[in-house]
Amino acid sequence: MLSALRQALSKAKRDGRSITLDADVYQTIPSEPFDRVIMERTTRGAVVPCSMGWNDVGSWQAMWQSADKDADGNATMGDVVTVDTTQSYIRSNGPAVAILGMKDVAVIATKDAVLITPRARTQGVKNIVTAIEESIPSLAQEHTRARRPWGSYESLARGARFQVKHITVLPGRSLSLQMHHHRAEHWIIVEGTAQVECGDVEKMVFPNESIYIPKGTKHRLTNPGIIDLHLIEVQSGDYLGEDDIVRFADNYGRSGQ
């Protein structure tokens, strides 16, 4: 396991702000708990009695135990409303959550998924993850926010022929010189300054300004500034998949689609 981890780290990709381990090597490492494979077998360990209020916070049950609670024993975070609900952990990082007539439950809402379970069974979340990997692989493998060498993008809304993204480009970074066969794009600058190549035109685009990228047009987006560039991208077309990218030049060794 240690050898494989070292190999995954030696082949990792670094982009200045983060390190991404080599996925092919990392997937060969067995999923085994450290205490079982190391601590239960070592002859070089010692146990020392102590009292330090330890809680490894390894489940939502543990989060409820360690959190501040209201008069009904509920621990809440985010936009949460409870009525006739007791001894529960309710957390939302996305939509507003309303709970009526429940007891001893855990409800966790993110932008792309919601977990509802009896609080005492939150240790079984790994079984849910396994089921999701088998039935909805994209939900397990993708997130609403995707990191890239140049920054990140977050999907805000999607329909049959449109998609809206929040794109962040790090200072001094550029997206590839690329084009799309099936979609056009409209960029609205929110913060920072964008240097845009669109066909034969190159221009600077400032906050509250926008630029249209027609389908089939070579284009590139660069952040020439010293702060993060934030923009809203509106895509429209008959196909909006991430594989509709033809790259002509790239600073990060990516090529093709």
pLDDT digit string (tens) for the chain, length 257 residues? 889 999 999 998 876 567 888 889 999 998 888 888 888 999 998 889 988 877 777 788 989 998 999 999 999 999 999 999 999 999 999 899 999 999 999 999 988 889 999 998 988 888 888 888 888 887 777 777 888 889 999 989 989 999 999 999 999 999 999 999 999 999 999 999 999 999 999 999 999 999 999 999 999 999 999 999 999 999 999 999 888 999 999 988 776 54
Cα separation, 257 vs 246, whole angstroms:
5
The DSSP code sequence of 9-54 is: HHT-EE-SS-EE--HHHHTTS----HIIIIITT-SS-------S--
Query: Which CATH number does 145-249 carry?
Result: 2.60.120.10
Per-domain residue ranges of the chain: 2-39, 60-138, 145-249
pTM over cut 0.75: no
Q: Sheet with 105-109: list strands edge to edge.
A: 75-77, 89-92, 105-109, 114-118
Closest CA to 106 of 124, 89, 91, 93: 89
Tokens for 111, please give them: 């932008």
SS3 assignment, position 107: strand
Residue 76 β-bridge partners: 90
Question: Which is it for strands 13-14 and 162-169: parallel, antiparallel or unpaired?
Answer: unpaired
